[in-house]
Structure 1
């Protein structure tokens, strides 16, 4: 009898966005349960133990134990009783202790200074500070960062849960900055060094990847999205199913040195011609605008078109629903954004880009530093 070799369609499974407890071993169960409870409270404040047990899928006994531990650690607080709507004892409502802890966030990606904030767990800024980047960078830059970190910790009115750092360059999953030429860094164990300096948990990520988790958590980012940062250079982060894509060498999203078009273009710092950065980086745009016969709308629209040429295959390949631009609104929000959007739509199928949003971030200049705050929420509490 002949074998039945009729192929079957592959099953495509997407990560479920709901709060269903996964099947895991007992050694990991407690940590997973804590994260599930904290995530449920973070996104849905004012819930009872019974609400949580039902929604997450844990027994009431297990839920009571988890909540008791979190209250002992001052991570969860009781708000009082719910207004009775049926017979019986009113339920006690719970929430994350949103103002009882602080997080320190650092943004090392600016051209002139390192900046930092102290926030509560909702990302509300309670203190700010900054320090000029030393001209000599390298080790001097690290010393300046340690000084800024100490100043911010001293400004925190509540216990600091952890420190998040957004760094330029390529950063691996251990918080080692593999390469950040502008700071003179190569293979710098930034996470380890700052943790030793301050005695706190430290999380370090690439600045564009920090920005995209900030947009997802504190902005209106969708689970499948891309965020493009435009400044002195051009970089991006990519998120699929709510997870940041790192890539084989931790360099996913490095679009600044993708050649845009076939007409060569200007020489780039990397040695190639026509890289997206030569069209889109703010200093390059300003140089074109300074020409005697420059028309502002034309210059900005051409920069947007070049961005659209690079974005179109990415949007189509990954079927992205959201592309967010971050940087100078004076340059980006207008002819540049319009031209980029038009180019992407002209070069992709309508079925691919039908619900695409190509837009400016709503978080303004705090986007990257708030992304650093989210790194701590993820690593310390398991919430986003």
Structure 2
């Protein structure tokens, strides 16, 4: 069993809704309060949300009936009168199926509890599959992963490369050979479970922001089979008018040509920075007269191209944090240092620096964790 960090971001609580604003909204507020703060008495929830105790008791009773909340027993705190009964989100009695389709040559799935702890996992290796072949493997893996669950599943979360619209249709994913694939509909038909499909970098940035060291103005660059990024500005994920915010992998970087990309153009960022591209560059460097220097140059060039793509974004949005997510042996060291140096050269000089650049922690599981965050929001309204 793999355990993820238990720190949860304590988000500012929204104001409670008036009755006319909907009961579901207030139910979500109760769940948010419990998920963020941990076990609380009904009176504590009442004070936190500004709702009457009668209203909170009614809301908690409904959530218990839905199995979304459980009673934990009486508090140990010494207070006048009868000891209060603690309630909490049903953290271990409900589970989530997360799927990560973004890594190079591998598809991953895992069963997670509501705290993001991975309870079981499975994976499928890819050789030369593409298009419908990969889609068939995804559906097969989902069926198999469901059998690993040891509690009722809230739903399925999927992180996939490419552009994903709000209906869960993968509009384009060149590295998977997908165009207009209704992935959410297909998975829901296959499993009967509510499904949320997101770009993998969007899922990853949610994970870093919620469970990691992320801040309210950040960009996470996900490097795997392709290159994409997730943006959070003012504490909100940015989707964009075409659901394509953060799609930097197919931005042409520089005016000096470059290798042809899978999208058909020359010089896209992915041709320097994706995991397959980096590995090809390092393999070629191994036959150089000075393989160590040649390998360092491959990584420095990739870092420079990344910074060229990011500098306008960081400057325009005034971001504070850049997170690189992918294999640390490729992204750390020379590549990270080159990206930092190029950004300093291209951004307004300031001390301390305007932006930090760092590697994501536990990058191998960050998309899986991010899909759990998205399912929590989609099914329980927990931010």
Which has the higher mean CA deviation after the structures are superposed, 341-350 or 166-175? 341-350
| Alpha carbons 2:204, 2:220 under 8 Å: kept | yes
Which residue matches 2:120? 127
| Alpha carbons 1:21, 1:33 under 8 Å: kept | no
Which 5+ residue runs of structure 2 have no aligned equivalent? 1-9
Q: Deviations over 1:352-378 (max 9, x none)?
A: 974532111112201112212222111
Q: Deviations over 1:189-211 (max 9, x none)?
A: 11111111111111111111111
Aligned pairs for 1:205-220 (under 5 A) are: 205-220=198-213
Against the structure 1 CA distance between its residues 272 and 288, is the aligned structure 2 distance closer, same or farther, given a 3 Å change threshold? same
After TM superposition, the score normalised by the length of structure 2 is: 0.89
Matched, 1:317 2:350: no
Which residue matches 1:239? 232
**Offset of residue 142 of structure 1:** 2.6
| Alpha carbons 2:40, 2:87 under 8 Å: kept | yes
**Equivalent residues, number:** 368
**Offset of residue 177 of structure 1:** 1.1
Secondary structure in 2 matching 1:118: strand
Which residue matches 1:332? 331
Q: 2:167 aligns with which of 163, 167, 174?
A: 174
Q: Deviations over 1:142-196 (max 9, x none)?
A: 3322221111111111111111111221110000111123333222211111111
Secondary structure in 2 matching 1:182: coil
Q: 1:154 aligns with which of 147, 158, 171?
A: 147
Which protein is bigger by CA-based radius of gyration? 1
- Moved beyond 6 Å, runs of 4+: none
Which residue matches 2:59? 66
Which 5+ residue runs of structure 1 have no aligned equivalent? 1-15
Q: Distance in 1 between matches of 2:215 and 2:175?
A: 31
Which has the higher mean CA deviation after the structures are superposed, 176-185 or 153-162? 176-185
Which residue matches 2:158? 165
Secondary structure in 2 matching 1:227: strand
Which residue matches 1:75? 68
Which has the higher mean CA deviation after the structures are superposed, 291-300 or 31-40? 291-300
Q: Distance in 2 between matches of 1:330 and 1:305?
A: 17
Which residue matches 2:178? 185
Q: Distance in 1 between matches of 2:333 and 2:138?
A: 36
Q: Distance in 2 between matches of 1:312 and 1:352?
A: 17
Against the structure 1 CA distance between its residues 309 and 213, is the aligned structure 2 distance closer, same or farther, given a 3 Å change threshold? same
Which has the higher mean CA deviation after the structures are superposed, 158-167 or 267-276? 267-276
After TM superposition, the score normalised by the length of structure 1 is: 0.89
